[in-house]
Amino acid sequence: MAKSHAAQKRADVVGLDLVRTAAAATKSAPATATESKPSPDYFIERDGVRYAGHHLLIDMWGASNLDNQLLIEEALLECIRVSGATLLHIHLHEFQENGGISGVAVLAESHISIHTWPERGYAAIDIFMCGAAQPLKSVPVLRRYFEPETIQLGEQKRGLSE
């Protein structure tokens, strides 16, 4: 049975992530009694500011393809790839009454969620990533896949430490 384009991309990303995960597990093996290594800290420090991660709230209006589950999955997978994030799990659900789709990609760095209202040409997308991931690189991908007339973007630094 042939895999869809999105399913193949997902398998490729998951396969790559399993390699990353295995390598990370090897690096973060428990310390022995004779050695003590600090656990990794995925907080970000930029320009003297320390925080957990970037949280993007994206509203797209006048968008297309909001009822196409395969295309939405493909878009999320490309967002993950260009951002340098690690996919753990993806789940999308199509609502029969209006064709809207809600879903989440759970990432090692946090998540991407999407909720669409095709009858209004509207999508609400939430992207939160910590560590070295770069969520802003997702915005051009979303623009290309959904061709919105307008995008409203809010950005917040989560977990600001004092």
Q: Which residues contact 56 (CB under 8 A, 6 or more apart)?
A: 125, 126, 127, 128, 135, 136, 138, 139, 153, 154, 155
DSSP string, 128-154: EEETT--GGGHHHHHHHHH--SEEEEE
pTM assigned to the model? 0.75
Counting every residue written for the chain, the total comes to 162
What residue ranges define each of the domains in the chain, with the CATH number in brackets? 51-162 (3.60.90.10)
Of the candidates 55, 79, 83, 130, the residue annotated as catalytic is: 130
- The token pair at 47 is 């320009």
Q: Is 91 a catalytic residue?
A: no
Give the pLDDT confidence score for residue 15 in this predicted structure: 47
Confidence at residue 30, expressed as pLDDT on a 0 to 100 scale: 47
pLDDT at residue 91 in the model? 98
Q: Is 115 noted as a catalytic residue in this protein?
A: yes
Q: What is the pLDDT of residue 162?
A: 63
**pLDDT at residue number 16:** 46
In the Cβ-directed half-sphere of 2, how many Cα atoms lie within 13 Å?
2
138 is catalytic: no
Single out the catalytic residue among 110, 111, 113, 161: 110
Could you read off the pLDDT tens digit of each residue along the chain, which spans 162 residues?
455 555 555 555 544 444 344 334 434 444 444 555 665 678 888 888 898 999 999 999 999 999 999 999 999 999 999 999 999 999 999 999 889 999 999 999 999 999 999 999 999 999 999 999 999 999 999 999 999 999 999 999 999 876
Predicted confidence at residue 1, as pLDDT, reads 47
Active-site position among 113, 115, 138, 161: 115
